[in-house]
Amino acid sequence: MADSPTTTIPSSLPVLPLRETVAFPLSILPLGVNRAVSIDAVQRALQGDRMLFLTLQSTATDDPGPDDMHRVGTVGIIRQMARTNAGLQIIVEGLQRAHAAVVNRTGETMSANISPQPEEVTKSIEVDAYVRRIQEQVDRALSLTSSLSQELRGVVSNIEDPLRLAYLLASLLDRNPMALGALGLFLGLGGLYQIYLGGMVGQTLGKRWFGLRVISTRGVSPTPSRAIARYLAQLLSVLPVGLGFVWCLFDRERRAAHDHLAGTYVVLDD
């Protein structure tokens, strides 16, 4: 991909309206173009610097006007174009997020006065930990579905830029419902496992192996509602780089943050 920070973004660009699709920076998007206003935008872009302002419509109309367009979108550059019987097929590379202060339309020509809105990325140990955690979760989610290319695992694992990783995953979820389904399935199965075994029964397979059990403050197995609360609290414990789990090392009762939130203890199973 091109290095978007070194690309000069014009102050005015043709507008390519999108329906049910979002174009993200730092990602590649194939598009079918067949509406008059869209074909005009592509043709004008190809006559110049090949750049477009891609933004999602706020309505489902076939003939959108300025009032139908979201003002935040992505500046993209056309990398390939082919003509078909149905219109045009293009491949666009997203460059940078931008805001349209003014959108005008005259006839079939729609243009926008834009200003770039690049997102700042701060590198830190915490951000790196989040990236690694996301890569691990994506790898596990992809193992649940065969509908996505397994080459995606290698792509995700080799991305170190957190912004590029976020945009890549967002574009996949936007264009491939199976990816979202896989992630939902992973979280759902994990939730059932933790709620039933880890909560209501009191022992996951790992806890049983180490002779541990989850109990409520009353000394009995948690109720279903408390088990659900403990699972949701566990998700919160994971978010800040797992600090909720580290909490137990410093807690006088050796309880993790999610145990405090859910009113549970982890004890040795007699």
User: DSSP letter at 194?
Assistant: I
Of these ranges, 33-47, 145-159, 246-260, the one predicted with the greatest mean pLDDT is 33-47
Contact between residue 91 and residue 78 where contact means Cβ atoms under 8 Å apart: yes
Q: Are residues 168 and 131 in the same domain?
A: yes
pLDDT band for position 239 (cuts 50, 70, 90)? low
Domain boundary among 73, 89, 116: 116
Contact between residue 33 and residue 14 where contact means Cβ atoms under 8 Å apart: no
Distance between terminal CA atoms of the chain? 59
**Residue 247 is assigned to a structural domain of this protein:** yes
Q: Are residues 18 and 78 in the same domain?
A: yes
**Residue 141 is assigned to a structural domain of this protein:** yes
Q: Which domain holds residue 230?
A: 188-268
Q: What is the CB neighbour count within 10 angstroms for residue 198?
A: 24
Q: For the segment 92-113, what is each residue's pLDDT rounded down to a tens digit? A: 999 999 999 999 999 999 999 9
Domain boundary among 153, 175, 197: 175
Number of domains in the chain: 3
Q: Are residues 16 and 104 in the same domain?
A: yes
Contact between residue 69 and residue 55 where contact means Cβ atoms under 8 Å apart: yes
The set of long-range contacts for 115-119, using a CB threshold of 8 Å and a minimum separation of 24, is 115/11, 116/9, 116/75, 117/72, 118/5, 119/163
Contact between residue 27 and residue 80 where contact means Cβ atoms under 8 Å apart: no
pLDDT band for position 35 (cuts 50, 70, 90)? very high
Q: Which helix (H) or strand (E) holds 243?
A: helix 243-246
Q: Is 162 exposed, middle or buried (0-12, 13-18, 19+ CB in 10 A)?
A: middle
CATH of the domain at 106: 2.30.130.40
**Residue 224 is assigned to a structural domain of this protein:** yes
Q: Are residues 70 and 168 in the same domain?
A: no
Does the predicted model carry a pTM greater than 0.85?
no
pLDDT of residue 80: 92
Structure tokens at 18: 């999108």
> Nearest 5°: phi and psi at 67?
-75, -10
**Residue 214 is assigned to a structural domain of this protein:** yes
pLDDT of residue 2: 45
CA–CA distances in Å: residue 199 to residues 11, 222, 270: 57, 6, 18
